[in-house]
Structure 1
Amino acid sequence: MTRFPGYPFASRWHAHPGGLRQHYVDEGTGAPVLFVHGNPSWSYLWRRPILALRDRFRCVAPDHIGMGLSDKPAAREYDHTFASRVDDLDALVGHLIAHRGAPERGWTLVMHDWGGPIGMAWACRHPGRVARLVVLNTAAFPSPHGERVRLPLRAPLWVLRRTRLGARLFLRHNLFARGATWRPLGVRRRMPADVRAAFLAPYDRPEHRVAVQRFVHDIPLRPGDRAWPLLEGTGRRLDRFAGLPAFVGWGLRDPVFDPAMLAEWRRRLPHARVEVCRRAGHYLLEDAHERFVPAIRAFLTET
């Protein structure tokens, strides 16, 4: 029996300069589909879409450095930033094109959470490579709420980003990753125990939780934040993708990616096919996979 239920994929590795190894899944043949996860998930999030698509598409799903099955460097050994994630993705795709038979063009980009900023920043470097977009509870532009964090999130985010208590909650207690698997924070449907264990397995001890912590520290909330220029610049360039076939899937019970962000995607991708589930939360592929996985397959086969 696989250690991770529903994830029967061979592990592949890409060695970055400096020796860090990035884990990725590469399943199936056909037009390439690139899955980009966020924080604190990993490529396990994509298990159902990969199984549903690999008969017709080449499904590539990397784990960010420090996450999933990739190497987990200490803070001093790797630059845990938004920009470094984009560089890593660019290097991996370049490797697949140069050495693994992947085409230069025709990529479908599937994004969730931090995968949206990372994936779209990469797409802005290579707009000719991207043929279609699949957007799932994410953003790739400054918050439509402005600089102020929404009230329910303001105090928890301040604690996690600014205090010693936040560091203990991240590193000692793994609270952020655990919370993402609980109702009602990350899901509205109770996760089976073995699935929850699989989501948490890569973050089994404090030194393996650094990337999860640094992703939260790097959230660009306002000008002056380190990641702000890259996010703001990505948002300004999204208009070049407005004419692409796009699918937007959204769980409306997400405490972070709320209806205002969905409305922003509708504005920026005016021709997108939009599927909304009122009962799904942040991990919409856990809460409503019966609805969203067939919808994604239908979108890809029909466009």
Structure 2
Amino acid sequence: MVAVHHRYAQVLGRRLFHREAGPADAPAVVLLHGYPTSSFMFRDLVPALAGDYHVIAPDHLGFGLSDAPSADEFTYTFDALTDLTAALLDHLGVAHYAIYVQDYGAPIGWRLALNDPAAISAIITQNGNAYETGFVDAFWRTVWDYQREQTPQTEAAIREALTLDAIKWQYLTGVPDPTLVSPETWHHDHALVSRPGNDRIQLALFRDYATNPPLYPRLHEYLRTYRPPLLAVWGKGDEIFAPAGARAFAGDVPDARVHLLDGGHFLLESALDEVVPLILDFLGDSLPNDV
């Protein structure tokens, strides 16, 4: 049994929750979750990696068990979430690390890499988009409409993403056997985003997502220049970020490892046993053992 610690840290005036496991002197791997979940999505991955790595999985501000100041008290942007993540890692003494990014975790991870390229030892992207080609228009059209104009109509449409049915859809769409996905996942996430005031936090981040695609050209230049070891492991049934988004990484990192697996947006829920060996092989080949 691997001991997984559940901890809080005070950074930049905010209390952040994180899961942490593995030897403190081992190469670090930072797991960055997406919407609408938290480090809960990594509850099984953390112990699977912790035998050889120092694994850290934070909850972003406004998610999971981290502080969730109101949208009036805190300006929720991906820049701000990145600053908090960087401050947490500095607080923990982690200066060099691999990142695992998924969904919202991707734009946070990309900012970390752009702000401090030397800090990133490797990249694992699991349905974490970095290319225009990855967006599935049928899903994102509602988000783009809300970003362009906040009206009662566009807000009502985007608020559907906060419903239990929409969160359940995220978990089950593209999964060959939906019975493999625990219903606790979508009920857990829905309960947290339904806390009073959390809706306005999520609406702010839906709006701020418009800042992410403009970063892509800089990110692509970073990938071409620094050539970080990169693994794209993707649920090919995802109807939010399409498999084309995974394949696109190979255009900037020719030796990227790209694996399209049967599964959906939250691939770990149904294909953990397939994903873990891919990650361990990749990290074993990519990270030095003396860090």
Shorter-chain-normalised TM-score: which range?
0.7 to 0.9
**Mapping 1:91-102, distance limit 5 Å:** 91-97=87-93, 102=94
Among 232, 236, 245, the residue aligned to 2:221: 236
> Aligned residues, how many?
277
Alignment partners' CA distance in 2, 1:300 and 1:275: 15
Aligned partner of residue 288 in structure 1, secondary structure: helix
Among 274, 280, 283, the residue aligned to 2:258: 274
Alignment partners' CA distance in 1, 2:58 and 2:128: 17
Amino acid at match of 1:28: G
Map of 2:11 onto structure 1: 16
Alignment partners' CA distance in 1, 2:201 and 2:220: 24
Aligned partners of 1:132 and 1:245 also within 8 Å: yes
**Mapping 1:98-137, distance limit 5 Å:** 102=94, 104-105=95-96, 107-137=97-127
Compared CA separation, residues 109 and 187, structure 1 to 2 (3 A): farther
Amino acid at match of 1:20: R
Compared CA separation, residues 211 and 245, structure 1 to 2 (3 A): same
Aligned partner of residue 5 in structure 2, secondary structure: coil
Greater displacement, 191-200 / 124-133: 191-200
Aligned partners of 1:248 and 1:273 also within 8 Å: yes
Alignment partners' CA distance in 2, 1:230 and 1:151: 19
Q: What's the C-alpha RMSD, in Å, of the aligned pairs? A: 2.7
Alignment partners' CA distance in 2, 1:187 and 1:176: 18
Aligned partners of 2:130 and 2:245 also within 8 Å: no
Map of 1:257 onto structure 2: 241
Structure 1 residue 45 and structure 2 residue 41: aligned? yes
Alignment partners' CA distance in 2, 1:203 and 1:189: 23
Map of 1:202 onto structure 2: 192
Aligned partner of residue 219 in structure 1, secondary structure: helix
Instruction: Report the Cα offset of residue 296 of structure 1.
Output: 0.9
Map of 2:232 onto structure 1: 248
Alignment partners' CA distance in 2, 1:271 and 1:298: 15
Aligned partners of 1:170 and 1:176 also within 8 Å: yes
1:197-252 deviations in Å (ceiling 9; x for gaps): 334343242423433332222222xxxxx45544543343232332x322210111
Alignment partners' CA distance in 2, 1:232 and 1:211: 28
Instruction: Report the Cα offset of residue 174 of structure 1.
Output: 5.5
Aligned partners of 1:186 and 1:283 also within 8 Å: no
Alignment partners' CA distance in 1, 2:155 and 2:278: 43
Aligned partner of residue 236 in structure 1, secondary structure: helix
1:14-48 deviations in Å (ceiling 9; x for gaps): 2233x321111121111110111111121111122
Amino acid at match of 2:257: R
Among 126, 133, 138, the residue aligned to 1:152: 138
TM-score using structure 2 length: 0.83
Aligned partner of residue 61 in structure 2, secondary structure: coil
Map of 2:289 onto structure 1: none
Structure 1 residue 166 and structure 2 residue 157: aligned? yes
Structure 1: gaps spanning 5 or more residues: 1-6, 221-225
Instruction: Report the Cα offset of residue 180 of structure 1.
Output: 2.4
Among 87, 90, 106, the residue aligned to 2:86: 90
Map of 1:291 onto structure 2: 274
Alignment partners' CA distance in 1, 2:158 and 2:175: 20
Aligned partner of residue 77 in structure 1, secondary structure: coil
Amino acid at match of 1:39: Y
Aligned partner of residue 126 in structure 2, secondary structure: strand
Aligned partner of residue 263 in structure 2, secondary structure: coil
**Mapping 1:183-198, distance limit 5 Å:** 183-184=172-173, 189-190=178-179, 191-198=181-188
Greater displacement, 249-258 / 188-197: 188-197
Compared CA separation, residues 275 and 62, structure 1 to 2 (3 A): same
Structure 2: gaps spanning 5 or more residues: 287-291
**Mapping 1:207-226, distance limit 5 Å:** 207-220=197-210, 226=211
**Mapping 1:168-183, distance limit 5 Å:** 168-169=159-160, 173=163, 176-181=166-171, 183=172
Identity of aligned pairs, percent?
26
Aligned partners of 1:26 and 1:61 also within 8 Å: yes
